[in-house]
Structure formats: C-alpha cells, structure tokens
Amino acid sequence: MEQSLLGLSGKVALVTGGAAGIGRGCAMMLARAGCNIAIADLDKKGAEKTAREIHGMARRSAAVEVDVRKPESIAKMLEETVKALGRLDICINNVGGLTGHRPTAFLDATPAFFEDVINNNLRATYWCCHAEAKSFIARGVGGSIINISSLAGIRAVQGLSPYGAAKAGIINLTQNLALELAPYGIRVNAIAPATTGTEKMTERMAKGDFKAVEEANPMKRLASPEDMGGAAVYLASALASYVTGHTIVVDGGVSLTTPRPAP
Ligand SMILES: NC(=O)c1ccc[n+]([C@@H]2O[C@H](COP(=O)([O-])OP(=O)(O)OC[C@H]3O[C@@H](n4cnc5c(N)ncnc54)[C@H](O)[C@@H]3O)[C@@H](O)[C@H]2O)c1
C-alpha cells in the first residue's frame, strides 16, 4: 500500500511494553508503515534491542525506561520521547497481562491477584491516556491513542475475572475518552486480541494446549503479534481518520464459535 495513503510517514509512535510480544509486533508494523518509534518498557535492555532493530529498518527510534504503574514515570516517558524524536503522534498503551499470577477461580481470588491485575491493566492504561492526552493538547496537536484490551474483556474466560473486568473497563474507557477528546482532534480506539503467539505465550503453553487453541479457531492458527500490529497501523493511519471509540476484535473468528465443553 502507498505510504501516502496511510499518512504515517515521519510520524512518531510510542509503544508501552514494546520490547516484546504484541507491543513489539505493533512497533514493527508501525515502523514498516513509515513511523519513527519509541519503545517504552520496564525492561530497558529489551527496549534497547527492539529499538536497535527498528533503527536497522532506516527509522529513528528511542528506548525509554518506564513503569506504567507510576504516573511520574509515565510523565517522564512522554517528555523523553518528545525530546528524543521531536514529536509524538500515536500512543499504543499495550502493557498488561496477568502480572505473574496464574488464572485463579473467583472464589479463590486474593487481594493481590485483583489489585496487581487491575493496576497493570486498567489503572496503568487510564493514567497513560490521561498524560498522553495532556501532552497532545499542550503541544497543540491532535493524535491517536490505541489501547490494548482483550477478547477476555468481551467474553468470560475461566479464572480471569479481574483481567476480564480490567479489559472490559479499557473498552468502556476508550469510548468515554473518544467522546471527551474528539474536540481536541484526539482519536481513541482499542484492539481486542485473542490468544496471541508471543514469545512468552509460546513458552508458557504446553504443546497440547497450543494445538487445542489452534484447532478451536476457525482459521486454525494462533494470532501473531503482527496481526495486532496490522490493526494498530489501520487505527493510527489516515484511513481511520473518522474512526474513534471503537474496539477492533482481532481473533480469527473465534468469538463467532460456541465454546465446546471438555470431552
Ligand atoms: N498474548 C496474548 O495472548 C494476549 C491476548 C489478549 C490480550 N493481550 C494483551 O496484550 C498486551 C501485551 O501482552 P503480551 O502477551 O504481548 O505481553 P508480554 O508479556 O509478551 O510483553 C509485555 C511487555 O510489557 C513490559 N512490561 C510489563 N510490565 C510493565 C510495566 N509495569 N511498565 C512498563 N513495561 C512493562 C514487559 O517487560 C514486556 O516487554 C497486554 O495488555 C495483554 O493483556 C495479550
């Protein structure tokens, strides 16, 4: 596709949790579409490695250390990005997940399970959006914010109650912010991935689980991080200039199926 149609050439995209997994997939696809990229991650070495790869694609890049659970760290991340790359147009709020917890039945849930998962997903996304919107407005520019939700935020998954609630919260937050920020030229959208074959997920899943997830999907494969990157490129691009408040489900059609009971 012509880069001019996307309107992304020379734009700067910031990806939280961009060192690995879905964040890295989004960063790579946005770089291919013409963006310069800031990789913001708790893992500084990982961020530097991904930033170097992007530099190798003839794009400008920066690695920024951040802990998105801390508002002061988010503010510093935005300052460092604008300083290093000269502008900021697109923010992908991607950090999230189970924060080291195992899926846990609701009746066995602990305060730590609930609080860690809500903090790293809903709370972090809320305050990232807040600081990003303020940064766009202070610089007198519009922008595009893309939040990473999950299919688990749309339909229930056994053992993931705080995660599902946080991801559903992100979908609603996306709608509210789209409404409030449209007058400033800021679009806010979300992506809801199904199970994605990230490095970590592939490592964690037993071979049998992997096959079962692939088999249950109408497309007979797991999503790739680049599948999510494709949706991010669309939402960030000029092609989506009238699209705001939406969540794109990227799931190979699995949400159209009825979960089968265990045999
Ligand atoms: N992988 C999946 O199957 C899947 C499915 C649906 C939704 N998601 C969502 O996609 C997003 C990315 O998931 P993933 O599987 O690619 O994750 P991942 O664990 O592979 O990568 C997460 C990245 O975030 C960084 N990170 C973690 N905590 C951080 C913090 N507090 N501050 C800054 N950086 C931090 C990590 O260092 C890592 O580089 C999450 O929001 C997750 O909930 C993932």
Contact 153 CB / ligand 1 (< 6 Å): no
Q: Has residue 208 been placed in a domain?
A: yes
Q: Has residue 234 been placed in a domain?
A: yes
Tokens of residue 150, six digits: 């999950």
Residue 45, pLDDT > 60, answer: yes
Q: Has residue 138 been placed in a domain?
A: yes
Instruction: State in Å: Cα 20 to ligand 1 middle.
Output: 8
Among candidates 57, 67, 259, which has minimal Cα distance to 151? 259
59-76 pLDDT, tens per residue? 999 999 999 999 999 999
Q: Has residue 218 been placed in a domain?
A: yes
Under the banding of pLDDT at 50, 70 and 90, the label for residue 2 is low
* CATH (domain of 51): 3.40.50.720
Q: Has residue 261 been placed in a domain?
A: no
Number of folded domains that form the chain: 1
Contact 28 CB / ligand 1 (< 6 Å): no
Tokens of residue 11, six digits: 């734009």
The dihedral built from the CA positions of residue 189, 184, 237 and 14, taken in this order, carries a sign that is negative
142-194 pLDDT, tens per residue? 999 999 999 999 999 999 999 999 999 999 999 999 999 999 999 999 999 99
Q: Can you tell me the distance from the alpha carbon of 35 to that of 9, in angstroms, rounded to the nearest whole number?
A: 6
The pLDDT score that the predictor gives to residue 260 is: 58
Contact 125 CB / ligand 1 (< 6 Å): no
Place of tokens 């096959």: 211
Q: Has residue 253 been placed in a domain?
A: no
Q: Measured in whole angstroms, how far is the alpha carbon of residue 72 from the centre of its chain?
A: 20
Position 204, amino acid: R
Buried b / exposed e along 26-57 (16+ C-beta atoms within 10 A): bbbbbbbbbbbbbbbbbbeebbbebbebbbee
Q: Has residue 258 been placed in a domain?
A: no
The pLDDT score that the predictor gives to residue 3 is: 64
Strand partners, 144: 90, 187
Instruction: Work out which ligand 1 atom sits closest to the CA atom of 24.
Output: 16
Contact 19 CB / ligand 1 (< 6 Å): yes
Instruction: Work out which ligand 1 atom sits closest to the CA atom of 96.
Output: 41
212-244 pLDDT, tens per residue? 999 999 999 999 999 999 999 999 999 999 999
Q: Has residue 149 been placed in a domain?
A: yes
Long-range contacts at 104-109 (CB < 8 A, ≥ 24 apart): 104/159, 105/158, 105/159, 106/161, 109/161, 109/162
Residue 146, domain extent: 3-248
